[in-house]
Structure 1
């Protein structure tokens, strides 16, 4: 797989050949505290996460260092479960968590999300996901992940513009 730099508004997805990692960069017209809150408040998270065709429901959510999370995403084709642990939650700056799709429970990834204050009420989100293998990473990319991230972050941008 070649490196992919795709620009949807300000979304950049980097998928380097032969690497177990991928990174996502997206700028938002909102302060870091608002972007952070959208990632840690379960009532906000379910409204923006994933593609437009998905409805999310929280099963468990403790967005604190050492906490855990679990949610169900559903669409016309069924339900999909996801879960993980929050390893570090540093307010308005950083979230380190595991991510597991229940359909592939052996393929756990580590996600490191960083928020950078760009000034003028703008924030840069950079997320790096490290997968257990190149094959797992490539399978996630092939699943349509990029489409879901793009639509989800576009929904988040609209929510932020409306004041959350």
Structure 2
């Protein structure tokens, strides 16, 4: 398995792995917060808008119906400029355990992935989130990996660390 990691935060980096035989990307990251807090930050649209994506981008959530069969839509903005429009469906939501959803964006309508985020209690107030993304082809996966997504992932997770630290009262 090929692993690509980038440390852009003072805390920790996400592990991003691409299986050379399958059109998949796996992203794994642990957080210093209990599972219910991490899951809430992942599912509460007000919190999601605060941490999702790189620090230079603001997320505006237009639709957020987090339930099995629900949907979402949000827009990435920098200053007053709309950069990208994301959307998808929540296929299965198991609270505090797993979310399976589609993920796509208007700017590349054929590049849709199926993602499953699994939340695991590591004990001692720590939680691991493991996301498996399946795309249509190896070419789409290569484009995904070449997109610079690791910056948005790591900066977003660093923002999430800050939110979780505020909620748990711990200093970083």
Alignment of 1:1-164 (within 5 A): 3-6=2-5, 8=7, 9-75=12-78, 78-163=82-167
The offset of 1:14, in angstroms, is 0.4
Question: Could you say what secondary structure the match of 1:108 adopts?
Answer: strand
Q: Any stretches of 5+ residues in structure 1 without a counterpart?
A: none
The 4+ residue runs of structure 1 with deviation greater than 4 A are none
The offset of 1:53, in angstroms, is 0.6
The offset of 1:7, in angstroms, is 5.8
Question: Could you say what secondary structure the match of 1:4 adopts?
Answer: strand
Question: Could you say what secondary structure the match of 1:106 adopts?
Answer: strand
**What value does the CA root-mean-square deviation take over the aligned residues?**
1.5
The offset of 1:91, in angstroms, is 0.7
Task: Give the TM-score, by structure 2 length.
Answer: 0.90
Cα distance in 2 between the residues matched to 1:142 and 1:70:
24
Q: Please tell me whether the aligned partners of residues 46 and 55 of structure 1 are also in contact (alpha carbons under 8 angstroms).
A: yes
Q: Any stretches of 5+ residues in structure 2 without a counterpart?
A: none
Question: Could you say what secondary structure the match of 1:105 adopts?
Answer: strand
